[in-house]
Copies of this chain bind each other. A is one copy, B any other.
């Protein structure tokens, strides 16, 4: 393989582009599929560390893990970038029940939403149900006052693009507490943002605003939401809950950075990565362990094949995407302040499923470039090469460098919302081959991008 890699390199440097591209991409895929590290790296991140919410010991260990991996893989530079992050903890108490007028209790599978306050002991209130945030907002406060608001909005299963279904429900999680509190509610519970009907509650970020009183917010499983809605259609009920979530002062954390230094254009940087933090349930396997190992593996493969990039390829394992995005925001600010020349960015944060393609948030010229890559991937079952979102971590770069393209890796999305932010987001639910194909696609894409810019 070494001799073969050298041969590839010769071919590449001789600029007979098209044929060499196909040989290089085939070589990248072979490495990922036959000698890949992605799956064992993910096992290690999920099992040796586990869930790694910002501010936790696990997040700290994940930083250590990422730095060590990059050194093992002999990237040209490896360093930590200091950032300030929020610190929220779920605490140990977390339970919820609905209680019929006969006093019988029905326990639900509940997870506090990330950023919620606790209940300060047991909280109880009469339930009032809404099917959307708009329905809640249009309601007379007198009906809501001192109640527990239950928002039972279902993700639209008819959306083929599951992220669109997620986007349609996101406001109930992000803004439910504020809107319910405006009307005098004492707490809010939402139907989990998950597609299957099951018992896994899905957490995720929510926010408060200063002028509105903070009330506790939690998600219950989709099956519990169905059962509760049915129960409420037959009579009234109250909700009993306890959560001891807490906010702590901001603390120091790190983005983990590794680079392959560019040859003739080393000052021009292609940033790519995923987020190292996860929610504090499951193992953050798809979200975003998969993105982390995709990108680690993509760069390991290029290094192993002795590929010498023109531009500097910079892998960033961003901290704190889930509850603040301080990794992404700080990174964009720091590199701008340093006067760095960022030329493109790529993110993987949609899970470790079979690759479908790449999207681009950028000008027409970059969409055209992206479309020109499609034929290179025709033997690899990739078919989405179109305008679309980049990713949360890299999005702040757009404010600092409005002209650069942000690319998003697009795997198949059908199973993502089975696991997203739920206890089921564990290593066992990631398929080895699908994960490896993602790493190979990203590595090939970085190679093409580096050559084209």
Using a CB-CB cutoff of 8 Å, which residues 195-211 of chain A contact chain B?
Answer: 195-196
Tell me how far the C-beta of A380 lies from the nearest C-beta in chain B, rounded to whole angstroms.
5
Chain B CB within 8 A of A30 CB: yes
Chain B CB within 8 A of A403 CB: no
Segment touching B, from A234-242, A257-265, A411-419, A445-453: A411-419
Encoded as 1 (CB less than 8 Å from any B CB) or 0, chain A from 170 to 203 comes to 0000000000000000000000000110000000
Interface size class, chain A: 20 to 34
**Contact partner of A381 among B33, B160, B434, B437, CB < 8 A?**
B160
A383 contacts B380, CB within 8 Å?
no
Chain B CB within 8 A of A157 CB: yes
Chain B CB within 8 A of A399 CB: no
Task: Note all chain B residues with C-beta closer than 8 A to A415.
Answer: 431, 433-434
Q: How far is the CA of A34 from the CA of B195 in the complex (A)?
A: 11
Task: Note all chain B residues with C-beta closer than 8 A to A418.
Answer: 431
Chain B CB within 8 A of A354 CB: yes
Encoded as 1 (CB less than 8 Å from any B CB) or 0, chain A from 260 to 283 comes to 000000000000000000000000
Chain B CB within 8 A of A432 CB: yes
Task: Note all chain B residues with C-beta closer than 8 A to A407.
Answer: none
B379 contacts A160, CB within 8 Å?
yes
Tell me how far the C-beta of A60 lies from the nearest C-beta in chain B, rounded to whole angstroms.
33
Tell me how far the C-beta of A409 lies from the nearest C-beta in chain B, rounded to whole angstroms.
15
Chain B CB within 8 A of A88 CB: no
Q: How far is the CA of A300 from the CA of B409 in the complex (A)?
A: 37
Chain B CB within 8 A of A158 CB: yes
Encoded as 1 (CB less than 8 Å from any B CB) or 0, chain A from 407 to 430 comes to 000001011001000000000000
Task: Note all chain B residues with C-beta closer than 8 A to A158.
Answer: 29-30, 33-34
Task: Note all chain B residues with C-beta closer than 8 A to A160.
Answer: 29, 379-381, 437
B195 contacts A433, CB within 8 Å?
yes
Encoded as 1 (CB less than 8 Å from any B CB) or 0, chain A from 134 to 175 comes to 000000000000000000000001101000000000000000
Chain B CB within 8 A of A398 CB: no
Chain B CB within 8 A of A356 CB: yes
Using a CB-CB cutoff of 8 Å, which residues 91-124 of chain A contact chain B?
Answer: none
Q: How far is the CA of A433 from the CA of B33 in the complex (A)?
A: 27
Tell me how far the C-beta of A221 lies from the nearest C-beta in chain B, rounded to whole angstroms.
16
B414 contacts A354, CB within 8 Å?
yes
Tell me how far the C-beta of A39 lies from the nearest C-beta in chain B, rounded to whole angstroms.
10
A433 contacts B354, CB within 8 Å?
no
Task: Note all chain B residues with C-beta closer than 8 A to A354.
Answer: 354, 412, 414
Known contacts A354-B354, A415-B433: A34-B381 contact under CB 8 Å = no
Q: How far is the CA of A381 from the CA of B384 in the complex (A)?
A: 8
A33 contacts B157, CB within 8 Å?
yes
In the complex, which residue of chain B has the Cβ closest to the Cβ of A196? B432
The CB with the most chain B CB atoms within 10 A, among A29, A412, A437, is that of A412
Tell me how far the C-beta of A166 lies from the nearest C-beta in chain B, rounded to whole angstroms.
13
Contact residues of A with B, CB < 8 Å? 29-30, 33-34, 157-158, 160, 195-196, 354, 356, 379-381, 383-384, 412, 414-415, 418, 431-434, 437
Beyond A33-B158, A160-B380, A415-B433, list 10 extra A-B contacts (CB 8 Å): A30-B158, A33-B157, A34-B158, A160-B379, A195-B433, A196-B432, A196-B433, A354-B354, A354-B412, A415-B434
6 residue pairs A–B, Cβ–Cβ below 8 Å:
A160-B380, A196-B432, A356-B381, A381-B412, A383-B383, A415-B433
